[in-house]
Amino acid sequence: MSAVEVATSKNYIGGRWVEARSGGVSEVRNPATGDLLGLVAKSGAEDVDAAVTAAAGAYERWRRTPAPRRAEMLFRVAELLAQRKEDLARLMTQEMGKVLAETRGDVQEAIDMSYFIAGEGRRLHGYTAPSEMPHKAAYCVRAPLGVVGVITPWNFPMAIPSWKIVPALVCGNTVVFKPASYTPLVGLRFVEIFEEAGVPAGVVNIVTGPGEAAGDALVEHPQVRLISFTGSTETGLRLAEKCARLGKRISLEMGGKNAAIVLPDADLGLVTDALIWSSFGTTGQRCTACSRIIVHRDARADLTDRLVARAERLRLGDGLRPETEVGPVVSSSQLERVHEYVKIGTREGARLLTGGRQISDGAFARGHFYAPTIFDQVAPEMRIAQEEIFGPATDLIEADSFEQAVTILNDTRFGLSASIFTRDINAAMSAIEEIDTGIVYVNHGTIGAEVHLPFGGTKFTGNGHREGGLQVLDVFSEWKSVYVDFSGRLQRAQIDRE
């Protein structure tokens, strides 16, 4: 693509597409080929302030729009996403790198979330309860918060924004969206669809730019009531400190160090299929990726051979090519991070079974490719078994018993996703009870979620909120308790008891 053909995208603020106040732009490049895909606004605090002001101005009208009417617009969003699924998926593969089958799934998740949450526009359930006093009604309703700031990562550039923006809107909030700097083009297309679906000006706004400028300004803006953030634990905790000082809400979805337990009675064919997918799908760049395989000593040798053989057959390349199974990592800095962890693992005494190198020859020369990597002889306390790598690397850790395997699995600061492979129903049910994560799979890998169940984790993976399911509505709404006394006299609860 020549420089003449490259488009420059603008921010969407108050129903208008506008340049950054500074006039600055940033490049967006394909991580597989290095090709320039486009230029986007390089925004700062002034642009964020304009977007928040627009969202605040649109809030009163939007919150008074009946929830079923808001939901009808979100239903149209889902329909437009479905119509443009293939185009959006192809753009996402070019921008982020994961293979086309996965980007289609990313768009489908946004479609599913939009349909699911649109259905809640005719419910948004509160609840009624009996009053302790006669001739008195008691019930609860949901109320919106105001302006919501949405900050999302690059690995799921449409699914994760949908988890936040769509429920925020159905609850009656307005939104300022800052997508990840690596994947702004998909975010901009997403917002175009809200505009086309009839969402009023100012209700959804998007500002592109670096986190240290646009992101921090969004977090610190006094008119933003809630920040919904998905990203690294380190960044999330820093944002949580800021929000605590400013007295505003924050919903955090952060890191993971996910593990699968493999017991001797497991179907190793299934295990191999599932763990290759869990470890190397999305090039390992998922918060739910399986980066620890805790295998019983009686199954270790056979499983190790199967995993290594399968990993070495995986085909790397441009995600738009139909034969590609593993795309690039998103950037040169992420490539360096992955390789640095490989060096750390080697220094710690782990044995590198396969991978552990950048692929940069021939067709791979302009991209960020890393060979699928498996370590063996990994001790649970090693850094590669404790810290999130976020790349195509996984560890084999041996356990002598089910109990020891669960102990190893739980012994990290993260608690997002886990799985167990066994034919023993007692072991499976015990694992569900004992594993300390927000998601547990039985006879499946650690990745994959459905929009109608809550998504999130324990410990340093999050701060207790959930995305997906009906539970996401609690993030984007306040509970309002209502008491209607029709007795005609003063009744003092807990005091005047008949």
Describe the strand order of the beta sheet including 204-206 as a list of residue ranges.
16-18, 11-13, 204-206, 174-178, 147-151, 224-230, 249-253
Q: Are residues 198 and 220 in the same domain?
A: yes
Q: Are residues 90 and 188 in the same domain?
A: yes
Q: Are residues 67 and 101 in the same domain?
A: yes
Q: Mean pLDDT over residues 109-113, rounded? A: 98
Q: Are residues 419 and 381 in the same domain?
A: yes
Tens digits of residue pLDDT in 152-209: 999 999 999 999 999 999 999 999 999 999 999 999 999 999 999 999 999 999 999 9
Domain count, the chain: 2
Q: Are residues 60 and 155 in the same domain?
A: yes
CATH number for the domain spanning 227: value is 3.40.605.10
Q: What is the pLDDT of residue 3?
A: 45
Q: Is residue 496 part of a domain?
A: no
Tokens of 125: 């359930």
Q: What is the pLDDT of residue 1?
A: 39
Going along 165-255, which residue ranges are E strands?
174-178, 204-206, 224-230, 249-253
Q: Are residues 245 and 283 in the same domain?
A: no
Q: Are residues 267 and 248 in the same domain?
A: no
Helix (H) or strand (E) holding 346: helix 332-348
Statement: residue 414 has pLDDT above 70: yes
Provide the domain limits for residue 435.
258-442
Tokens of 104: 């289609």
CATH number for the domain spanning 316: value is 3.40.309.10
Q: Is residue 247 part of a domain?
A: yes
Q: Are residues 277 and 234 in the same domain?
A: no
Q: Is residue 450 part of a domain?
A: no
Q: Is residue 98 part of a domain?
A: yes
CB-based contacts of 468: which residues, under 8 Å, 6+ apart?
A: 113, 163, 449, 450, 451, 452, 453, 454, 455
Q: Is residue 342 part of a domain?
A: yes
Q: Is residue 280 part of a domain?
A: yes
Q: Are residues 148 and 238 in the same domain?
A: yes
Q: Is residue 312 part of a domain?
A: yes
Please tell me the pTM assigned to this model.
Answer: 0.96
The label of the residue with tokens 């933003």 reads 224
Statement: residue 493 has pLDDT above 90: no
| pLDDT confidence band for 496 (50 / 70 / 90) | confident
Residues designated as active site:
253, 287
Q: Are residues 86 and 157 in the same domain?
A: yes
| pLDDT confidence band for 2 (50 / 70 / 90) | very low
Closest by Cα among 236, 99, 95, 219 to 157: 95
Closest by Cα among 206, 146, 216, 213 to 178: 206
Q: Are residues 167 and 298 in the same domain?
A: no
Q: Are residues 266 and 127 in the same domain?
A: no
Tens digits of residue pLDDT in 295-353: 999 999 999 999 999 999 999 999 999 999 999 999 999 999 999 999 999 999 999 99
Whole-number Å distance between alpha carbons of 4 and 27: 14
Tens digits of residue pLDDT in 209-258: 998 899 999 999 999 999 999 999 999 999 999 999 999 999 999 999 99
CB-based contacts of 331: which residues, under 8 Å, 6+ apart?
A: 31, 182, 368
Q: What is the pLDDT of residue 498?
A: 61
Q: Is residue 448 part of a domain?
A: no
Q: Mean pLDDT over residues 470-479, rounded? A: 97
